[in-house]
Amino acid sequence: MTHTSRDLGGHAKAWLAVAMGWAAGYIDVCGWLVLAHVYTAHMTGNTVSLGVDMAQGDWTQALHHGWPILAFLGGLLFSAMTAGVSRRREVRSSFAIALGTEVVLLAVFIYAGTQLRIAENPKEVSTEALLFLIAVLAASLGMQTVSVTRINGLRVYTTYLTGSLSKFAEAVTDYVLWFHDRTHGRFVRRIGKVLRVTPRQRCAQHAALTGGLWIFYFAGAVCGASMEHRYALMALLAPLVVLVCATFIDLKWPVMAADEPRNKIRLPKDND
């Protein structure tokens, strides 16, 4: 499969990733506020809470924290499978399939949650309805997690901040060492040139991207908490618009950029 000028370039893809990070932070905090303080993107926290709940014999809370892990995993598998099948069939806009499904699930969550008035009366919602809403939101965020995964040679996940912070630290370390090697013993003569070429250094680009993912996720959480307080679940229309725009971007300029691995798998023919 060849790459064309219609592919979304690395810089544009980075901006799309941080925008989706903003949407993920926004959705995650809104879900936490209305879904019995259960995170629908933060599976590390859910796993730890599940362990605590089981150790204490609190099986109701264990269900609340264990259920989103299964739903999130389902979303991951769906997104990864659609991407893999799309590559085999040479469908260029595979990103739009997973993201379009996420849009549908988020719309279902907004509608169902509004009908149940979960933001206004969370204690009156049945356990079954609560688990349904948790599954819908967790699955949608799982789908997003493996949609944009490689940018300028770096693997990233728009809902996984621990990994982003780890890669940020690695990239900053690489940049500091590179900067030291280029300016050691000749700082005054070299500093101007080194700073000019910094934006082209991959370690600097990776630091900017991973740091930006954290900043935008945090900004999304702040916006989500503020807007949910004012508009309840209707506040989720903001990240929904972002995801719809990202879906159309992929249909116009496939997000699977030039540095995305695209190994074609040759299947045996009947006469082989």
Look at residue 190 in the predicted model and tell me its pLDDT: 84
Question: Is the model's pLDDT at 236 over the cut of 50?
Answer: yes
Across the range 179-200, mean pLDDT stands at 88
Of 260, 234, 250, 266, nearest in space to 3 by CA? 260
pLDDT given at position 250 = 86
Which residues have a Cβ under 8 Å from the Cβ of 169 and sit 6 or more positions away? none
User: Is the confidence at residue 260, as pLDDT, over 80?
Assistant: no
Is pLDDT at 212 greater than 90 in this prediction? yes
User: pTM (2 decimals)?
Assistant: 0.87
Beta bridge partners of 151: 154
Q: What is the structure's pLDDT at 30?
A: 94
pLDDT range class, residue 155, cuts 50, 70, 90? confident
Q: Which of the residue ranges 65-74, 112-121, 177-186, 194-203 has the most confident prediction, judged by mean pLDDT?
A: 65-74
Q: Supply the pLDDT for residue 263.
A: 47
Query: Distance between alpha carbon 113 and the CA centroid of its chain, in Å?
Result: 22
pLDDT for 257: 43
Q: What is the CA radius of gyration of the chain?
A: 21
Per-residue confidence (pLDDT) for residue 267, from 0 to 100:
38
Judge whether residue 218 has pLDDT over 90: yes
Contact 173, 216 (CB under 8 A): no
Residue 141 has pLDDT above 70, yes or no: yes
Give the orientation angle of helix 10-34 with respect to helix 202-231, to 10 degrees: 30
Provide, rounded to the nearest whole percent, the portion of the chain with pLDDT above 90: 56
Q: Average pLDDT, stretch 94-102? A: 88
Burial of 111 (0-12, 13-18, 19+ CB in 10 A): exposed
Average pLDDT over residues 41-62: 92
Q: For residue 223, what is the enclosing H or E element?
A: helix 202-231
Task: For the chain, give the mean pLDDT.
Answer: 86
Q: Is-contact 162 205, C-beta < 8 A?
A: no
Q: What confidence score (pLDDT) does residue 100 get?
A: 92
- Contact 182/194 with Cβ under 8 angstroms? yes
Distance CA 231, CA 229 (A): 6
